[in-house]
Structure 1
Amino acid sequence: MHVPVRWEGVYPALLTPFTADDQLDLPLFEANLRAQLDAGMHGFIIGGSLGEASTLEPDEKIALLKSALAVCDGKVPVLLNIAEQSTKQAIKRAQEAEANGADGLMVLPPMRYPADARETVAFFTAVAEATSLPIMIYNNPYDYKIMTTVAMFEELAKYDNIQAVKESTRDLTNITRMRNAFGDRFKLLGGVDTLALEAILLGCDGWVGGLVDAFPQETMAIYDLAKAGQVSEALDIYRWFMPLLELDIHPKLVQYIKLAATATGIGSEHVRAPRLPLIGTEREQVLNVINSALAKRPVLV
């Protein structure tokens, strides 16, 4: 029985912990997941960019999915990310996710090929027609070089299971464009940590977070305060959080956020090659950001 996906609230893009010998560290994955649940998360995304999707084997993604479903036990929805090079593989991964109990999908445009508008719409359409699961489209032209425009969403709006957008264009105006064009037809979730509060105040329904993997309670506090209209209180925490949130917009966001999660006791530094753990001056600089924030960590009411 699938858990309904409301597309509201905070959805961590979960890290994928590894052991020192490059196996999935499911006990640590589950410990992080429980810390997120304890903080009140509204849903989870497995195998995203932050989850090192490009290096995971299909069976590893399913293992993570099953682990998360067991821990969540129907309390909140669990989504699997679909990021593939071919339409055929994207369809296969989506159908495997549905068969193994996923509650929804986040779908990226084609990987490694800069598809044009017609091709991108055809790709999303093919996935939507191949599954009954609700879908959130990840709109991130900054990193993936494909912009899903308002005109493209007009074509996709006829598919009932395409329900939400992870808004990562880094153009806050696009939130208003989408609202003006579609009203509430698509749920919008801010996907850039350094623009998260702004996105919520401009009308986003939720936040797909990165630093939430290390700081779940602070992330939830910002979201809850902003939605309650307590903007000044949210802003106080957000300003404290910003040096940490900036770790999310670096090419080494995986290493940086894993280091932060290690510092807060719910992660490890192990990554999968070609990524390598941080060393030397770079590691010291990131640790300084993390430790400086920890020294001034706000007391949440």
Structure 2
Amino acid sequence: MEAHIWKGIFPALTTPFTQHDTLDLPLFNNQIQAQLNAGVHGIIIGGSLGEAAVLSLQEKEQLLQTAINTNKNKVPVLLNIAAATLKEAFETVKMAEANNANGFMLLPPMRYKSDARETTYFLQSVAAATNLPIMLYNNPVDYGTELTITILNQLAKHENIIAIKESTRNVTNLTVLKNNFGKRFALFCGVDTIAAESIIMGADGWVAGLVNAFPRETVVLYELIQQKRIDEAIALHRWFLPLLELDIHTKLVQYIKLAQQVTGLGTAYVRSPRLMPEGAELENVLNLIKKCVANHPGLPNV
């Protein structure tokens, strides 16, 4: 597989659990197959949406093994590295390499808010520890550390850092990155609500969340923009937006899993400290999802 060809729809997969709080690997296999059948272009395991913070390294290995076996080398399979220490990051790299991962998504250090020098050192150290390609994850809104142009200029020296997941929630930052780096990095939008705008402005791909419940709709929206069928893309995006807004909620994991339950692609089980919604909250979210499903506009051929 050509590691440098990273573009298109890369689902940030949720992690399915059983009612007994164990990994539901048969369901995970089915979820991956549904994504591949819909035409996604890559897969990301153990991201924020995948509840990475509450997964053990052994569980991440089980998820990765399942994905590799199901994928059969069709698309790149990336494992997220969200580590508090370099030791933890290196252990994740070693495990993923041993299980034939195709690359990594990489966050600045967790829990401690690193300054620019510390952030650069951490990310450079991880990049130097592997030959596999890396997608940096820039999400200062949720994690408090921004990958600035100054930091990225240092990281650009590492040839295996090939992509950036841009999640500042500011669509103009995509153009800032393009102006500074040209085609040095593949740029992925990491925020569902502004993905269409970002792709129109030149993003190479979309690390998507609601794709977990609506895989074909996500792929079709991307392809319509690629084919410059903008009016059709706008119409689909307007239907999709109330669902996409679930991706920017604090409880995005719970809400997207509810959407998967409604569309038959998952269950609502989450791992503590998260709890499944109940009462009015549950009713409101389910009503939104079911209303959108009922008003589905149909999909054009792409």
TM-score range, shorter chain: over 0.9
Amino acid at match of 1:201: I
Write the deviation string for residues 161-201 of structure 1: whole angstroms up to 9, x where unpaired: 01100000111111111111110001100000000001101
Instruction: Determine if the alignment matches structure 1 residue 151 to structure 2 residue 127.
Output: no
Match of 2:178 in 1: 179
Write the deviation string for residues 11-52 of structure 1: whole angstroms up to 9, x where unpaired: 000010000001100111111111110110001000000000
Counterparts of 1:266 and 1:5, CA distance in 2: 30
Q: Is the 8 A contact 1:5 1:77 kept in 2?
A: no
Q: Is the 8 A contact 1:269 1:277 kept in 2?
A: yes
Q: Is the 8 A contact 2:127 2:158 kept in 1?
A: yes
Counterparts of 2:255 and 2:159, CA distance in 1: 37
Write the deviation string for residues 271-290 of structure 1: whole angstroms up to 9, x where unpaired: 00111111000000100110
**Post-superposition offset of 1:5:** 4.8
Match of 2:283 in 1: 284
Match of 2:29 in 1: 30
Unaligned runs of 5+ in 1: none
Write the deviation string for residues 134-171 of structure 1: whole angstroms up to 9, x where unpaired: 00000000000000011111111110001100000111
Match of 1:84 in 2: 83
TM-score normalised by the chain length of structure 2: 0.98
Amino acid at match of 2:14: L
Match of 2:260 in 1: 261
Task: Give SS of 2:124's match.
Answer: helix
**Post-superposition offset of 1:3:** 5.9
Task: Give SS of 2:117's match.
Answer: helix
**Post-superposition offset of 1:220:** 0.4
How many pairs were matched up?
Answer: 300
Q: CA separation of 1:37/1:219 partners in 2, compared to 1, >3 Å: closer, same or farther?
A: same
Q: Is the 8 A contact 2:4 2:162 kept in 1?
A: no
Match of 1:296 in 2: 295
TM-score normalised by the chain length of structure 1: 0.98
Unaligned runs of 5+ in 2: none
**Post-superposition offset of 1:245:** 0.4
Please show how residues 129-148 of structure 1 align to structure 2 within 5 Å: 129-148=128-147
Counterparts of 1:5 and 1:102, CA distance in 2: 14
Amino acid at match of 2:218: T
Q: Is the 8 A contact 2:84 2:109 kept in 1?
A: yes
Q: CA separation of 1:5/1:287 partners in 2, compared to 1, >3 Å: closer, same or farther?
A: farther
Runs of 4+ in 1 over 2 A off after TM superposition: 2-5
Match of 2:11 in 1: 12
Match of 1:67 in 2: 66
RMSD: 0.8
Q: Is the 8 A contact 1:83 1:110 kept in 2?
A: yes
Please show how residues 76-225 of structure 1 align to structure 2 within 5 Å: 76-225=75-224
Counterparts of 2:5 and 2:257, CA distance in 1: 28
> Kindly, what percent of the aligned residue pairs are identical?
55
